[in-house]
Amino acid sequence: MGNVQTEMQSKKRQKLDKNRIYRFLGISMANEGDGYEMKGERFKIQRNPERELQMESSATNSAMKTRSVAVALPALSLRPESLGNPGTVAELHRRCHDMLPQTFDGFRLNVSRHLSHNVAVGHALQLGQKSQLANCQFNVSYMGETLHELSGEAYPMIIAEVDAKGNLSGTLMHFITPRLRAKLTATVLDSQLQSSRLFLDYFGNSCTCTCVLSNMNVQQEMGVLVASYLQQVTPQLALGVDFIYQREDIVPGGQAALLTAVARYHQDNRLWSAMLSLQALELCYTQIYGKCLGASVQLRANILKRQAISRLCYHCYIPKMEFSFRGGIDTRGVISAVCERRLEPLPVLLQLSGKLNHLTNRFRFGLGLVIG
């Protein structure tokens, strides 16, 4: 009986693919580059956003890439007999972001080895046309035996990565109580602490409260505070608010605040989500067709600069072939696609990535291998 329970817990942990870890860390799943940029973000947390986001995301991405396999589309369902916990505001557009193809350039190789049910180590190598894209990392991850009842996440969780230049990124997550989750992420560049974030999430019976402290400096009175609240009003409707306060020298006037209203509505196999503030708007719609096909539409707008972009994406999964395909097109003429195919009986996952910008006539292609 004990062996059966251990095997079931092991299978649940293996379902933690890279996309789920991305969502857990609150990293944007939208593509970047080649016409995908939306200038004028809600706020700037980091002093060097591009470099710090690259280091922060690469740690989790490399540590969990070896567990990335084509998975079936999740069903959009809620328990009608109870409201249930609505999740965090960071996961508001999770269903839609899962459809977006995560493209990459050049060649990418990920090799991992599971030392035990809890510990895994791996190497990640990425080569591109540009010299700065060449990078090599070593990563290690640890996941505990306990599974959280609400989220199904294994805890405690530790993920760390170091690259050839000695830069280090790490993440620590643990449930202090059954309803309180704490998470700490840090990035060290050139022997200096470049960024740090502390997440505190409280999961109630029908609501979730989140507090994030980013790059806090008590002596200089600088940093970013994010507070959000999401309430499940009915089994189909969830409403909430997201408040952001930033105090840094790079902000005009030294400080800034932003209040955002959020909403999510679920009906059968369809899901609507929205975030609205005085500066930005994001609308998402997702629909699941059976177990093998899903589609989503995303609209992002910068109200102050009067800029907007919309994307149409879909995800197709064939269980018998272990084949997954994600494709998308946006209003700026950018077509992107990523397909994954497991090469049985070898423990190898083949990844092909492509992105074409019709306006600039730029084409990018990527080849990836995940071994382990």
- Summarize pLDDT for 155-188 with one digit per residue, the tens: 999 999 999 888 999 999 999 999 999 999 999 9
The answer to whether residue 347 scores a pLDDT higher than 70 is: yes
Contacts for 301-306 with beta carbons within 8 Å, 24 or more apart? Answer: 302/38, 302/39, 302/40, 303/278, 303/279, 304/40, 304/279, 305/39, 305/40
Taking alpha carbons only, the member of 131, 74, 119, 130 closest to residue 315 is 74
* Lookup result for tokens 């092909």: 352
Please say whether the beta carbons of 229 and 240 come within 8 A: yes
Whether the bond between 156 and the residue before it is cis, its omega within 30 degrees of 0, is: yes
Output the pLDDT for position 79.
40
Looking at the chain, the whole-number percentage of residues with pLDDT higher than 90 is: 60
Give SS3 for 102: coil
For the chain, domains (ranges, CATH) are 7-371 (2.40.160.10)
Q: Which comes out higher in pLDDT, residue 153 or 173?
A: 173
Q: Which comes out higher in pLDDT, residue 49 or 109?
A: 109
Output the pLDDT for position 218.
81
The answer to whether residue 115 scores a pLDDT higher than 90 is: yes
The answer to whether residue 57 scores a pLDDT higher than 70 is: no
Q: Which comes out higher in pLDDT, residue 300 or 147?
A: 300
Output the pLDDT for position 72.
56
Output the pLDDT for position 290.
86
